[in-house]
Structure 1
Amino acid sequence: MTPEEAARAIEGVLLDGLDPETAPARSAIPVPAGELLMMPAASTAYVGVKIAGVAPANPTVGLPRITGSYLLLDGPTLQPVALLDGIALTSLRTPAVTAVALDRLAVPEAEHLVLFGSGPQAYGHLDALLAVRRLTRVTVVARSAEPAEALVRYARGLGLEAAVGTSAAVAGADLVVCCTTARTPLFDGALVPDHAAVAAVGSHEVDAREVDEVLVGRSALYVEARAAALREAGDLLMAGVTAADPLWNLAELVRGEAPVPADRPRFFKSVGMAWQDLAVAAEVHRRGVGR
């Protein structure tokens, strides 16, 4: 499945009437190595659950920080039908969700992407955004020089003008995407132009954020689901956002029900939800069995 096809799968379930507000909540269980996440979702045709591990010490021994598997079951009988690589699935669906949102939030002439991070999600987001938008330029901002340069080379191989930059690059951005493990803001939100669209996908913790309260206060706000964001989105909660504030969910955005103002930034905060995994996993399985 290509990034564009994954984005269409996400759009499809929303256009078919899925309500993200009713999706089951994620369960987070502390374990000695870090955290175990359980993410169930169900539709008429399929049921699925992702079990993901977050092991902060893994990179020090050359292993991925995130681990996981996805079990897909037949909806009517609950018989297992497939076991998928949970990390490959996450690496596909998270950028797809961002692409669906930013395709609607970015100005038509958006060309310059400022990309924070240099890990798998950074590569996935670059591919996904290129699938829905005609970008010409990318600026990579990352903590480590070598991975940042590697991502720049990858972007150049895709035909983009690419360079390593600093956080100040957001002042000239059309799109800003944050996919890092940062727990404090990555840039000064006052620098972001009014025409820019910003997405943050790096955390689902109430005490971690990639953007500051300045950007949140300036922006029109969009989330996958209000219920999930008000439980988990530190970027919003630490900026003082409450249920009384205007938050548009992804279904409302996709269906054309959410306003998209042109006079201030548009900020999409993603925490990751189980219905997204199910949408992509189900489509992968349908392709695999030819139906």
Structure 2
Amino acid sequence: MTLPEIALTLGYADAVDALERTLLDGLDVEGCPARANIRVPAGELLLMPAATAEFTGVKIAGVAPANPAVGLPRITGSYLLLDGPTLQPAALLDGVALTSLRTPAVTALALRALAGPDARHLVVFGAGPQALGHVEALKAVLPGLAEVTVVARRPGPAAELVERAAALGLAARAGGPEAVADADLVVCCTTARTPLFDGRLVPDRAVVAAVGSHEPEAREVDAELVGRADLFVEARQVALREAGDLLMAGVGADRLANLAELVTGKAEVRHDRPRFFKSVGMAWQDLAVAAAQYLAERQNVDRAAAEGQ
């Protein structure tokens, strides 16, 4: 059997909508299958299965830390989508492209609910594809976003991201970690293993998201921020296994609200203290976006067939 290979053409707003629909339809984020992390000689292999009544899918992703030094992507992967009732293979998707789309979309979904109504200044740590994706995704769902400060180790990529953000109509500049003191939104998209900034500088009005790691020994924010913020995660059980930002700060489940509770309005959102959203990535997110892309592609094929008759 030759499976169709479907390109990802969904925009960020469409991906956010697909994620939101999945949660509003009642997905139990706490009961989703765990990701399998397997150490291999080149790095790490991730197996991420998920299922709904309509679709089942699995992403196979690789993390190869040495790849960038030889001009290859650090993250590799493929996604297999299956029909839910029959488990017959339906389509293949580029796993890297899928991750690049769904990760910013998850953050955008959370920050749309957590940000203040007048949020306009984003500080983004990192200057790689995820940093750009987060700028684009937040621009798509937060109409008040007007300014971006890029904080990155290397001036060249930082300047390139500033240029890309400016092309979106944002007032963009490079800056240092102290920029968080004037932020409404802070997004961390790095491979850092130690805190990127002093959490005491973050204003009470701000919301911070960290997406760069899924390891219990790595963190992008410090215990000072975690201690004074209201905390939101994709799922409590997953965060308590993989979210170093929280584990290294000694956080327990009682302080965490999950994304489903946030989206359905069951979680309280206060603006008198920072809000912190920690994302480690979950398989249901890939499935939601992959299924939305598959359905959109099928509609396009059906429409083209009808127009050709």
Q: Check whether TM > 0.5.
A: yes
Q: What CA distance in whole angstroms lies between the structure 2 residues aligned with 1:19 and 1:75?
A: 17
Q: 1:114 offset after TM fit, Å? A: 0.1
Aligned match for 1:168, one of 152, 166, 178: 178
Aligned match for 2:236, one of 197, 216, 226: 226
Q: How many residues align?
A: 290
Q: Deviations over 1:129-174 (max 9, x none)?
A: 0011121100000111100000000011111110000000000000
Aligned match for 1:111, one of 117, 120, 134: 120
Counterpart amino acid of 2:274? P
* Aligned position for 2:110: 101
Q: What CA distance in whole angstroms lies between the structure 1 residues aligned with 2:183 and 2:85?
A: 47
Q: What CA distance in whole angstroms lies between the structure 2 residues aligned with 1:110 and 1:56?
A: 35
Counterpart amino acid of 2:153? R
| Structure with greater Cα Rg | 2
Q: 1:285 offset after TM fit, Å? A: 0.3
* Aligned position for 2:305: none
Q: Does 1:178 align with 2:188?
A: yes
* Aligned position for 1:4: 13
Counterpart amino acid of 1:144? R
Q: 1:261 offset after TM fit, Å? A: 1.1
Aligned match for 1:158, one of 154, 157, 168: 168
Q: 1:79 offset after TM fit, Å? A: 0.9
* Aligned position for 1:136: 146
Q: 1:62 offset after TM fit, Å? A: 0.9
Counterpart amino acid of 2:207? A
* Aligned position for 1:201: 211
* Aligned position for 1:81: 90
* Aligned position for 1:54: 63
Q: What CA distance in whole angstroms lies between the structure 1 residues aligned with 2:92 and 2:67?
A: 23
**3-state SS, counterpart of residue 198 of structure 1:** strand
* Aligned position for 1:32: 41
Q: 1:246 offset after TM fit, Å? A: 1.7
**3-state SS, counterpart of residue 204 of structure 2:** coil
**3-state SS, counterpart of residue 87 of structure 2:** coil
* Aligned position for 2:286: 277
1:207-218 matched pairs, under 5 angstroms? 207-218=217-228
Q: What CA distance in whole angstroms lies between the structure 2 residues aligned with 1:285 and 1:226?
A: 29
Q: What CA distance in whole angstroms lies between the structure 1 residues aligned with 2:212 and 2:87?
A: 32
* Aligned position for 2:7: none
**3-state SS, counterpart of residue 37 of structure 1:** strand
**3-state SS, counterpart of residue 138 of structure 1:** strand
* Aligned position for 1:236: 246
Q: Which TM-score applies when normalising by structure 2? A: 0.93
Q: 1:19 offset after TM fit, Å? A: 1.1
Q: 1:242 offset after TM fit, Å? A: 1.6
Q: 1:224 offset after TM fit, Å? A: 0.3
Percent sequence identity over aligned pairs: 70
* Aligned position for 1:126: 135
Counterpart amino acid of 2:173? A
Runs of 4+ in 1 over 2 A off after TM superposition: none
Q: 1:262 offset after TM fit, Å? A: 1.3
Q: What CA distance in whole angstroms lies between the structure 1 residues aligned with 2:123 and 2:169?
A: 16
Aligned match for 1:42, one of 51, 65, 84: 51
